[in-house]
């Protein structure tokens, strides 16, 4: 996987979260065949965080795009259910 391809996937995952939760602090990275995403928001003085990972079957751009959407959706679902 090129650094550029992995960076595009991590950026996409973070953008998808911030599109729904503009105040979210996000971090994403690809390591050891997995895409990781963490998002943190503050609600009523309390910090809420959600982290999810996706096991990659390949490093193809299509696979990374699917992984970005998947982890973003799961992080959003978890944070919004606690909001």
What 8-state DSSP symbol labels residue 81?
H
Specify the pLDDT at position 62: 92
Where do the domains of the chain lie, and which CATH numbers do they carry? 3-82 (3.30.160.40)
Tell me what pLDDT residue 2 has: 61
**Looking at residue 25, what is its pLDDT?**
98
% of the chain beyond a pLDDT of 70? 95
pLDDT band at 8 (very low <50, low <70, confident <90, very high): very high
- pLDDT attached to residue 83: 57
Mode of pairing for the β-strands spanning 46-55 and 25-31: unpaired
Residue by residue, DSSP assigns the chain as --HHHHHHHHHHHHHHHHHH-TT-EEEEEEETTEEEEEEEEEETTEEEEEEEEEE-S---HHHHHHHHHHHHHHHHHHHHHH-
Read off the pLDDT band of 33 (50, 70, 90).
very high
């Amino acid at each position: 996987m090129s650094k550029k391809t992995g960076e595009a996937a991590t950026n996409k995952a973070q953008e998808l979260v911030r599109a729904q939760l503009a105040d979210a602090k996000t971090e994403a990275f690809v390591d050891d065949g997995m895409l990781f995403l963490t998002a943190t928001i503050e609600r009523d003085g309390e910090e809420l965080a959600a982290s999810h990972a996706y096991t990659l079957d390949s490093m193809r751009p299509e696979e990374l795009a699917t992984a970005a959407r998947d982890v973003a959706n799961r992080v959003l679902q978890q944070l919004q259910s606690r909001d």
